[in-house]
Structure 1
Amino acid sequence: MSATHPAGTRTVFVLNGPNLNLLGKREPHIYGHETLADVEAECRRVAGELSLDIRFHQTNAEFQLIDWIHEAREQAAGIVINPAAFSHYSVAVLDALKACSFPILEVHISNIHQREEFRHHSFVSHVAAGVICGFGTQGYVFALQRLARLLAKPAT
């Protein structure tokens, strides 16, 4: 049992920030044609294979994302987060994540480093155990696989 998450929990919060509810509709040349429902279904499938339980959420409201991070602190073993635009300016999201004592993996569907200059910086990256970007929605699968591996390591 690891000291970094509640005893025995294999719950992972998969959190999505603003405009991800428009996946498949908004800029499909950048984000693809899959919907957020498709992403959730794939995350649930992969989580089942990895013996993880997931709580999957999306919001356009910064305060709601922060509330879910606070909830995860008490109930989860880790977070997979696509903070979307909040990556680039939300110190409040960063501060909420800093209060977590478990692995956090940051996901971006596009390669943020090939896009506008303002997208190259992420506050969330300061606390993330890893950052996955540019692999489309498959990045969520990679993040869940990595998180399962991190959770399997003995506490140090």
Structure 2
Amino acid sequence: MTEISAADVAVPVVLRVNGDEYRITAEPRRTLADALRDDCGLTGTHLGCEHGVCGACTVLLDGEPVRSCLLFAVQAQDAGIRTVEGLAAADGTLHPLQEAFWRHHGLQCGFCTPGFLMLSAGMLESCPDIGDDELREALSSNLCRCTGYQTIVEAVQSVRDAGEA
């Protein structure tokens, strides 16, 4: 006789991502990152370490930056999820943070960029007057192996200083 554990039984999940509703079926142990990429087709959320350390998978959940590799899709049921695909305007106009990363050369290989953009968006939306020390501390929670961080910090500071978040 074959036994089926609860972890193997797929359940219906409703994900509200970037203003769209996705009705998926997922095993309870399926991560939000995997559901976004594989079930919703939103591949802008990158998987780096899959342990919550690197921040490449950062998305906004009800406006708060979270590591989507550490959340199960079922935990995000009916929450408002915003991914990097939802950052630009519907007409394709780049978000001020995307413009600033481009203008300040805040990316090289680009793998970490979606996570930094979403972390920065959540941070500036909740605390638009964040100080430089706090900004650097917050950004230090995400990892980048290419830029040396200074250009990322400058990009986020420029958006903060312009009040564009």
Tell me the TM-score range normalised by the shorter chain: under 0.3
Determine which structure has the larger helix proportion and give its number. Answer: 1
TM-score normalised according to structure 1 size:
0.28
Higher relative contact order (CA 8 A, sep 6+): 1
